[in-house]
Amino acid sequence: MTDTWRNLDLSVMEPLANDSGQRNARVELRRFEYLLFLPWALGTLMFSIRVIGARLFLVYVYGWNTVQQEQLRLLEMPKNAPWLVSNGDSIEKGHFVHFVISSACWLALFFATYPLIRLLLPKKHE
C-alpha cells in the first residue's frame, strides 16, 4: 500500500509559476480599480438592502401571493422603530431577519458581479 503512495505523481499539486520559475501569487490591479471597489460595494449594498432584502423580507412576513397581489413594499425603515408597509401595517419585530437576508444577498451579488465588472477596466500600463 505504501508503494502506491510513493509512486503517485503530485505535479498537479505544485503552485503555478511564471516564466522565470518563481511563484507569483499577486494579482495585477487594473487601472482605476481602487475607484471602482468602494462605489460598487456601496451600490450593491444599498440595492441589496432597499430592493432585494426588502422584497424578500416582505415575502417572509406576508407570503409570495400577498406581496404580489397587493404590491407591498416597505415605505420607511427607521432604526429602533416599527417599519411601515404600503398596506398600512407596521412591522415591529423581525428586523434581524431582514439583516441576514440582505447580507446574504449582498455577498452573493457583490462577489458574483465584481470580478466581471473588473474585467471591463483597462489593464495597467507598465
Which pLDDT does position 2 carry in this prediction? 56
Which pLDDT does position 36 carry in this prediction? 85
CA distances from 41 to 5, 53, 64, 109, 111 (A): 46, 16, 29, 10, 9
How many Cα atoms sit within 13 Å of 52 on the Cβ side? Answer: 18
Which pLDDT does position 6 carry in this prediction? 59
Mean pLDDT over all residues of the chain? Answer: 84
The C-alpha atoms of residue 33 and residue 119 are separated, in whole angstroms, by 10
> Of 118, 90, 116, which Cα lies nearest the Cα of 29?
118
pTM summary value? 0.71
pLDDT per residue as tens digits for the range 64-115 = 999 999 999 999 999 989 999 999 999 999 899 999 999 999 999 999 998 8
